[in-house]
Amino acid sequence: MPLRWLDFDYSEGTDDTGVFDAMASVAPQHAAAVEAEIAQVLAWAEATFPGGRGPVEEGGEWDSDLQVVEENDGTPRQTFSLAIGGSTAFCEAFRMQFGEAIS
């Protein structure tokens, strides 16, 4: 599943978990495209690990955090920061699905 706007970095936790972080800073006319990619990633996670969303330390398979900041320092922009991660099984499946978007 190719992604155009999201490029993920991976970091490993100390408790057999991992996190994929992506940030996209775009002009307002591209915000809907970024939002659609984020929705695509979250829909994949829910479909692949149904009912598994929640903190891993509480028994969840995966969880995510999305932050959106509107900026205007002369040029309006929206910055999207998505962190999604979870168990070893989740991270392996994420790599299989979105491998080309992971740097």
User: What CATH number is attached to the domain comprising 68?
Assistant: 3.30.70
Amino acid at 8: F
Domain boundaries, position 65: 8-101
**Domain membership flag for residue 44:** yes
- Yes or no: say if 66 and 80 are a contact pair by the CB < 8 Å rule: yes
**Domain membership flag for residue 28:** yes
CA–CA separation, 18 and 15 (whole Å): 9
**Domain membership flag for residue 1:** no
**Domain membership flag for residue 17:** yes
Q: Is 27 helix (H, G, I), strand (E, B) or coil?
A: coil
Q: What is the mean pLDDT of residues 16-32?
A: 95
pTM for the complete prediction? Answer: 0.92
pLDDT category, 80, cuts 50, 70, 90?
A: very high
Q: Burial level of 84, CB count in 10 A (0-12/13-18/19+)?
A: buried
- Yes or no: say if 70 and 25 are a contact pair by the CB < 8 Å rule: no
**Domain membership flag for residue 2:** no
Query: How many domains, the chain?
Result: 1
pLDDT category, 76, cuts 50, 70, 90?
A: very high
Range list of H helices, the chain? 31-48, 88-98
Tokens of 43: 């829909």
Tokens of 64: 């995510």
**Domain membership flag for residue 3:** no
**Residue 14 in this model has a pLDDT that exceeds 90:** no
**Domain membership flag for residue 75:** yes
